[in-house]
Structure 1
Amino acid sequence: MEERIITIPYQINLANTFLKRFKGLMFRKNPISNEGLWIIPCNAVHMFFMKFPIDVVLLNEQNEVVEVHHMLEPWRITKPVKEAYSTLELPSGSAKTLGISIGCKIKCSI
């Protein structure tokens, strides 16, 4: 089977320090659009203090999608995913629009 690669067309910010991972997208007033946040390492997220839904894509160390949460609402959490190494947070609806599904490989610029 041919490997499916999805290129993310948004500006992706990297959260790879404790403080950046802790803050994430919390306390932002407006929904994100044309941008995302790549949290490394991360195998689960919480939506505490969020004001808008987002799409959450969990990736393994090879950037292959292992789980997708569409339009995750504020004040929700995801369960930890053992296979996940990092998490990509995208504007709500992006995963469906871009065709992101389990097994595809993600490519993005940071």
Structure 2
Amino acid sequence: MGKWRDGTGTLRVLGGGPGGDSAKDPDGDFGGGPGAGLESGPRGGPGEEPTGSDRGPGGGPGGAIPLEIAASYRARRRGLLGRDGIAGALLITPTNSVHTFGMRFPIDVAYLDRALRVIDVVTMRPGRLGMVRPRGRHVLEAEAGAMAAWGVRRGVRVTAVPNPEA
């Protein structure tokens, strides 16, 4: 599992997308390991800037979005089951597919590769089984409509900055 641990953190949406550096790697894998998208600070690598200005928690592209990280078997299995909503997003790692059986609300699901680049974004109603994404290594879940508001779309890269352990 590398550096991934259950806990909380901050999610940021970075630039990318069609015509960006996603075109450099035809399979979209970027060769990163389990912690490839973990950053020590709020910005990505050289030349990567947020897609918009900082607008506060969940306020749009580039803003700091509250994040829960589910890396253990138990946390991944539970996911968003039994909840009425989520403030922010849930990163499930490692996984390449999800389901919404037992869910109480529709969710947006972003499938991410090893480098935390978005492979696909779908909205799933409760009681559905998502397709397996073979290149997927992580899944980001949020309430329906949130991904569009944050600027999360195919080809965009996100970063996850874990909160320091207390």
The TM-score, its normalising length taken from structure 2, stands at: 0.59
Q: Which residue of structure 1 lines up, in the alignment, with residue 30 of structure 2?
A: none
Whether 1:31 aligns to 2:85 is yes
Task: Please state whether the residue corresponding to 1:109 is helix, strand or coil.
Answer: strand
Give 5+ residue unaligned stretches, structure 1.
Answer: none
Identity %: 27
Taking only aligned residues, the RMSD between alpha carbons, in angstroms, comes to 1.8
Amino acid at match of 1:78: G
Inter-partner Cα distance in structure 1 for 2:20 and 2:112: 19
Is 1:8–1:107's contact at 8 Å kept on the other side of the alignment? no
2:149 is paired with a residue of what secondary structure?
Answer: helix
Give the Cα separation in 2 of the matches to 1:82 and 1:8.
29
Aligned residues: 107
Q: Deviations over 1:15-61 (max 9, x none)?
A: 10110000101111x222x3211000010000011000111001000
Contact 1:8 1:108 in 2 (8 A): no
Q: Shift of residue 8 of structure 1?
A: 5.8
- Pick the aligned partner of 1:91 from 119, 140, 143: 143
Match of 1:44 in 2: 97
Mark the CA change 1:65 to 1:98 in structure 2 (over 3 Å): closer, same or farther. same
Change (3 A) 1:106 1:88: same
TM superposition score normalised by structure 1: 0.87
- Could you tell me which residue of structure 2 aligns to residue 57 of structure 1? 110
Contact 2:95 2:138 in 1 (8 A): yes
1:11 deviates by 1.4
Change (3 A) 1:57 1:8: farther
For structure 2, list consecutive stretches of 5 or more residues without a partner in the other structure: 1-18, 22-47, 51-60
- RCO higher in 1 or 2 (8 Å CA, sep ≥ 6)? 1
Q: Which has the larger radius of gyration?
A: 2
Letter in structure 1 aligned against 2:152: I
Aligned partners of 2:148 and 2:95: how far apart in 1? 22
